[in-house]
Structure 1
Amino acid sequence: MTAALPSPEPGAQPSGRRRWAPAGGETARGPAGGLDERVLDEVRRRALAGAGTLTGADLAAAVRASGLVVGSGSAAQVIRMLQEDLQGLGPLQPIADEPGTTDVLVDADGRVWKDGTDGLLPTTLRFPEPEQIRTLAVRLAASGGRRLDSAQPFADVVVGRYRIHAVLPPISAGGPLISVRIRAGKSAGLGSVLPGGSTNPWHPILRAVVRARMNFLVSGGTGSGKTTLLGALLGEAAPTERLLIVEDARELEPAHPHVVSLQCRTGNIEGAGEVRMTDLVRQALRMRPDRLVVGECRGPEVADFLTAMNTGHDGAGGTVHASSAGAVPARLAALAALAGMSGSALAVQAASALDLVVHMGRVAGRRSPLELGRLVPDGRGFITVSPVVRQDAGSCLHPGPAAAWFAEALAEKSIPCPW
C-alpha cells in the first residue's frame, strides 16, 4: 500500500478543513505525495506527446528533465509513486486488487470503503484533503475520455475493467465522491455466480429460461448482482446465436463467441453528438440480433425494448432497478411514462413481450436469485407478477402459482421441467 504522509509537528494543525484531519490508519497521498510540481508537469507533457503511454523509462526521464535533485533511492521511490498516481486507480488500486472486491468507494469525508464477499467495510486508507480526491477523479474521468470540472460536475466512464463514477461539489455536498465498480472481464459461467455452483437449485431453472428463449428482466437493487447474473445467463445462449447488447456504459462481456456491443455517448460542451439508449435500441434492431439485450432499462428506451420483443425478438434480456419482483410493474410504468406510454398500453406491451422477472438480492452477504415470476395482466389495465419459484430464508425453493405455466411452456419446446 502507499506510504503515509509525514506526521505533523506536535500541536500543529493539519491543512484544510478540520473534518479532513486523518483519524488514524493509512493516508492517501496527493499527486505524487506532494512532489515538486515540475515533475508532474514534465510527466504530463510527455504523456501528451506519447499519446498517453508512459513507460518506467519515460517517468525516469521526466524526473531528470524536471531538474529536481534526488538521490538514487529517492528517484526510484519517485518513479514508483508517479506510476501509482498517474496510472490505474492510483492509491485505490491496491484495494481494487484485493480478491473478492467488487466496489471501491470514496466518501465526502475522504474515507475509503470496499464492498465484496464480506459486504461493505471501511478500509484503513483515507484522503486527508478533498483536493486529492478531486485530482484523482478528474484524472480517472479524463482517462475514459470524459471531462469533469465545475461546468460538468459528474462523469461516468469505463476504463479497462473498472466502471468509474465521480461527482464534484456543489453537486456532492461536503466534498468530491468516487465510486468504482470492478468488472470481472469476461463473465463467469452461471455455475460460478450462483452460491454453491451447479448444485444450486436455481442453476437448472435459469438454464431452462435461456434454452427456452424466454424474454426476461433481471431485477434488484444496486449491487445485488443483476448485471453479473445477466452476463452469466447470456453465456448460456447457443454459440450459433448473435447477441446484440446495448448499454449506457459497457459492462456486459458474456463468455460467448458472437457478441456485438453498443454504448451511449454524451454530447460535447455544446450538447452535440449525443447518442442515447433509444437511438441504440433502434439501430440494434437493424443489425440482425438473435437476442437483443438492454444492459439496464432506466428511461424511455423501455418502449423500444418492449416493441422489439413484440416483433419476434425472443430470448431478449435486460436489467431493471426494483426492490422486489412485485415492484417491477410499477418501475416499468414509470419508465414507460417517460416515453409517453399510458399504463394500459404498457400493460398490453409488457404482458405479451416479457415472460419472466428474475429478482436478485443478498442472502447472508452473498448475491443470489430470490424469485422467478411471470408477468401477467390483471384484467384492469395493469400487470402483476405471479411467482413461479420463490426462495425462502433457508435457501429452499418453493413453487408458486405460475409454476404450472412455466412447466407447460418448457414442455412445448421439449425442455424438461427442472423440478
Structure 2
Amino acid sequence: MADPDTTEIMVNGYKTIYVERFGILEKTDKKFVNDRQFRVIIERIVAPLGRRIDEASPMVDGRLADGSRINAVIEPIALDGAMLTIRRFGKRLQARDLIQLGSVTQPVLTFLRAAVQARLNMVISGGTGSGKTTFLNVLSNYLPEAERIVTIEDAAELKLMQPHVVRMESRPPNLEGRGEIRIRELVRNALRMRPNRIIVGEARGAEALDMLQAMNTGHDGSLTTIHANSARDALSRIETMVLMTGLDLPIRAIREQVASAINVVIQVARLRDGSRKVVSISEVVGMEGEIVTMQEIVRYQQHGIDLDGKVIGEYQFTGVQPNCLKRFEEVGVAYDVRELSSLRPAESLW
C-alpha cells in the first residue's frame, strides 16, 4: 500500500499476492502466515466500514479512508480460500499528464473540452481498469466553476475541483438487511436539488432510465461511465439497463430516448502493453428506422508492437464533420475544427 506505483493489489488465498504496476500484473513474494491470519486482516479492514463478512454474507465491497476500493470474498463462495482485491487511487491526473503518457492528444482534448463547455451529454465507455474514472476526472476540469454539480457514485472516486459540488454515495444494506439506498434513488433525489449538471460515476442498472430522462428534461451537460467494449456496445448496454426497470417499454421508445439524450460516447481501453488510451470518440446523430445511428470522429489506430513491447499507433481524424459544431456555435463555445484536421486522416475501411 505504501508503493505509489501500485494501483491494484490482488490476494488469491493467503499464499498468493499479485500487484499491478504501470498496467502490468506482477506476482510478489509476499504472503500471509496462514489462512486464519488472512481472514483476521480482512475482518479488520471491513469492520470500520460498518460491514460484515461471514458465511451468511461472504462478499463485501467498501471504500477505505484514503479512497481505495476493496472487495473481499470468503468461503464457501471462494473455493480456494479467501480473496481480497484493493484498487488504489494515486494522485489526481491532469490533462497534461494524460498527454505525456500518450493516453490522448491535445487536439482530441480540445474538442472534448468544447463538448463539455457546450453542455453535451457524454458517456465514457470502457472495460474494467481501462481508466474511465480517471478520464472523467480530467473532463470535470472543464466544468464551469459557477455551476452546481451533483455527483452520484457507488464508491466515491471522483475528485472535482469546483467550489459548488454536492457529493452523494449509495449505501448497502446494514447488518439487518435494511437501509439500502440505491444509485437510482440518488439520481431521482438529485433532480430535486436544482443541479446544473449531474455526474453519475458509473451507470450499471435501472438508474440508466432516470439518467436518460434527466438528460432529456433540461439537465444537459451530464456525464457518466459505463462498462462496454465499444461505443455501439455502450448504447446496447444502456438499452439493457433501462429494461432492468421492469417497465414494459417498447424497444423503439428506449432507443429514441438514448438517441435524443446522449451526444458523445468516448471509448477508453487498456491496451496489450498495459497503457490506457482514448481509442475512439463517436457522436450519436439520431435514428434510422429502429437503429440508433452514430458517426466516429476520432480513432486510435494501432499499427503493431515495438521491440520493447509497447503499442505503436496514432490518432486519426475520420474526416466526418461533427454535428455538434452547430451546438458549439449556438452556445458561444469557440472551437476551430482545424484542430482535429491536424490529426492524420483515417485510413479507408473499404
- 3-state SS, counterpart of residue 45 of structure 2: helix
Aligned length: 323
1:216-253 deviation digits (Å, cap 9, x = unpaired): 01000000000111111112211111210011111111
Structure showing the higher strand proportion among its residues = 2
Amino acid at match of 2:57: Q
Q: Which has the higher contact order (CA 8 A, sep 6+)?
A: 2
Asked if structure 2 preserves the Cα contact closer than 8 Å seen for 1:191 and 1:197, the reply is no
**Selected match of 1:241 from 132, 147, 156:** 147
Moved over 6 A (4+): none
Asked if 1:125 corresponds to 2:30, the answer is yes
> Which residue in 2 is equivalent to 1:100?
5
CA distance in 1, matches of 2:289, 2:76: 45
1:129-168 alignment, distance < 5 Å: 129-161=34-66, 162-168=68-74
- 3-state SS, counterpart of residue 392 of structure 1: strand
**TM-score normalised over the length of structure 2:** 0.86
> Which residue in 2 is equivalent to 1:180?
86
Structure showing the higher helix proportion among its residues = 1
User: How has the CA–CA distance of structure 1 residues 109 and 386 changed in structure 2, closer, same or farther, with 3 Å as cutoff?
Assistant: farther
- 3-state SS, counterpart of residue 125 of structure 1: coil
> Which residue in 2 is equivalent to 1:366?
275
Asked if structure 2 preserves the Cα contact closer than 8 Å seen for 1:106 and 1:112, the reply is yes
Give, in angstroms, the shift of residue 331 of structure 1.
Answer: 1.0
CA distance in 2, matches of 1:254, 1:395: 31
1:140-191 deviation digits (Å, cap 9, x = unpaired): 1112221111111111111122111111111122111111111236x33222
Give me the identity figure in percent.
35
Asked if structure 2 preserves the Cα contact closer than 8 Å seen for 1:264 and 1:280, the reply is yes
Greater mean deviation of Cα atoms: 152-161 or 372-381: 372-381
Amino acid at match of 2:210: D
**Selected match of 2:297 from 382, 385, 388:** 388
When the two chains are superposed, the root-mean-square deviation of aligned CA atoms in Å is 2.0
> Which residue in 1 is equivalent to 2:224?
318
Asked if structure 2 preserves the Cα contact closer than 8 Å seen for 1:390 and 1:399, the reply is yes
Give, in angstroms, the shift of residue 197 of structure 1.
Answer: 8.1
1:264-275 alignment, distance < 5 Å: 264-275=170-181
Amino acid at match of 1:320: I
- 3-state SS, counterpart of residue 279 of structure 1: helix
Asked if 1:410 corresponds to 2:301, the answer is no
Asked if structure 2 preserves the Cα contact closer than 8 Å seen for 1:106 and 1:179, the reply is yes
Give, in angstroms, the shift of residue 210 of structure 1.
Answer: 1.3
Give, in angstroms, the shift of residue 389 of structure 1.
Answer: 1.0
Whose radius of gyration is greater, 1 or 2? 1
> Which residue in 2 is equivalent to 1:221?
127
User: How has the CA–CA distance of structure 1 residues 120 and 211 changed in structure 2, closer, same or farther, with 3 Å as cutoff?
Assistant: same
Give, in angstroms, the shift of residue 378 of structure 1.
Answer: 4.1
Greater mean deviation of Cα atoms: 117-126 or 374-383: 374-383
Structure 1: state its 5+ residue gaps.
1-95
User: How has the CA–CA distance of structure 1 residues 216 and 404 changed in structure 2, closer, same or farther, with 3 Å as cutoff?
Assistant: closer
1:4-19 alignment, distance < 5 Å: none
Structure 2: state its 5+ residue gaps.
303-311, 341-350
- 3-state SS, counterpart of residue 296 of structure 1: coil
1:40-75 deviation digits (Å, cap 9, x = unpaired): xxxxxxxxxxxxxxxxxxxxxxxxxxxxxxxxxxxx
CA distance in 2, matches of 1:365, 1:384: 32
- 3-state SS, counterpart of residue 292 of structure 1: strand
